[in-house]
Structure formats: C-alpha cells, structure tokens
Chains A and B, each alone.
Chain A
Amino acid sequence: MKYLLDVTTLAYKEELCTGCKKCTEVCPHGVFAMENKKARFIDRDRCMECGACALNCDSMALTVETGVGCSAAILKSMITGSPATCGCDSPNSGGCC
C-alpha cells in the first residue's frame, strides 16, 4: 500500500553518499537501492518519514523532517501547541500504534 504521492520531505544529496548501504538496511519500505556504489531512490513515495535512514547516514547525504503519520497526534498538537508525538503512553491515545 502506498500513501499520498509527492509529499515526503525526504531529500538526498548523491554527491555526499559514501555507499555504506546503511539506508538500504534500515528503511522498512524499500525506498533505496544501491547502484554503482551509491544509494538511489527506487520508490521515494513509499517514504513514511520515520527518519531511520537520515539518522544512520553518517555522511549526511539524507535528510528528512521526521514525524508521526498519525492524525490524532497531529490534531492534538494543533490544539495544544505541543509537538505531534505518538501518544502511546497516554490513555487517550486512540489507535495510535
């Protein structure tokens, strides 16, 4: 299943890639593949902005604005003004995670 197209904030600077393959290892949606010792997008729209690739990219070739893809959390942050986090530890977390 794929979510909305062309919304992800995932950005990639190929010139910084050292070919360590970490992004292909940590991405749970198969966004990356290796080609000529460089990472390459195979399906950027599958990105869910979890941030695993960017955190583990030591050459800073990957950046992404991470956040939860959770409507309840985003609505709550709109009302309270606090950052949108998964409310798994509160009793009113709804179905979130």
Chain B
Amino acid sequence: MWKQALAICKKDFRSEIRTRYSINGLIMFIIVTISIIKFSLGEEKLSNELHAGLLWIIIFFSNSSGLSRVFVAEEDRGTSFVLKLTASPKSVFLGKLIFNTTLSFVINLFVVLLFLVTMDVKIASFGPFMLIIVLGNFGLSSVMTIIAALISKSNSKGSLYPVLSFPLLLPLLLSTINGTWLSFEGSGITELLSEVQIIVSYTIVIITASFLLFDIIWNE
C-alpha cells in the first residue's frame, strides 16, 4: 500500500510542478488576503487572541482553495479511472493524503511567515506555537482530503468545499486557535497539553473514519 501511495503522491507532485494548478493561485490568494487585512487594520493593534483567530481563518481559507484539487482535477479530467484501474482505494487515499499534507504544510508555512512579518506579532513560546501549527496542519489536511473526495463527484464543487469542511473542522479550529493564542502569550507545553490531546485525537479519528469510508466514496 505504501509503495503505491508514494507513487501516486509522486505523480501528483510532478503534475503540480508541471501545471501549477494549485500553487500559483494559492500564493496569490494568501498575498491578497494578508494585504487586505493589513490595509483594513491600518495602525490599529490587535490582541493576541484576535491575531490567533485571524491566522487560522487565513489558513482555513487558503487550504480550502488549494486542497480540493487533488480529487477534483482527477474527476474533471476523467483520469480518476486510471487510478481506479491501477491502485487499491486505500493506496489512492493515502497517496492523496500525503500529497495534501505536504502541500498544506507549504501553504501554512508561507501563511505563518507572511503573517508574522506583516502583522508584527510576537511569539513568546516558539516551540509550542510550531507544535500547534504542525499538528493543526495534519488535522486540516486529513479533513480536507476526505471532503475533497466527497465533493469531487458533485456539480457545485467550489462552494461545497468550505461549507462542508467548516462544521467538521470547527472542533479542530477552536483548539488550534486557543493553542496558538496561548503560545503567543508565552504558555509552555504543559498548559497546551489539553489542546494538543484534542488535536491529535481528532486527527486520528478523522483519518481512521476516512480510510473506512473512502472505498464507498471512491467507487460510487
């Protein structure tokens, strides 16, 4: 399963490098969003709590606009049959999950860097902050990968994606926002432990459920 999954992931990366379906649009989206927030705020100083909320709103919408391509492009171009005829459903899902997690990591890193530079945010506990970003990244990509598989079969793909993923992601987003805020405030790992536990448990549940459900979604 892992060999097939890695081959599918490699194919997606080569395709992305050659076509730049997702990455160009994503970079523009992130730059435009952060610029609009910066200009609308002017010289006003926001609290750390608001900064944490804003950061995860940008991360959520950036991922919404990029991660659906992984299945939507296969359905739109009629290439999903190629995957159905060459790999098991579990390998396809794992390959797409690895690709989306990596892409999401790149997106989030870019968002965080640009956000910190432009919004003048001070991170008092850098280690816990990065831990929340990395764990949140896994949770976000796992939900968005299975939702991408679901919406790829529908007609209104673009609008359905954020609408369907938001309620599913709410518990994760609340924990990541809280964790990010606490790290801005200087809390250590011990204070963040409950948030970390929620994020890790949530991600495990989503990935397990996705593997169980994907066969039905993929073959329908």
B and A form one assembly: no
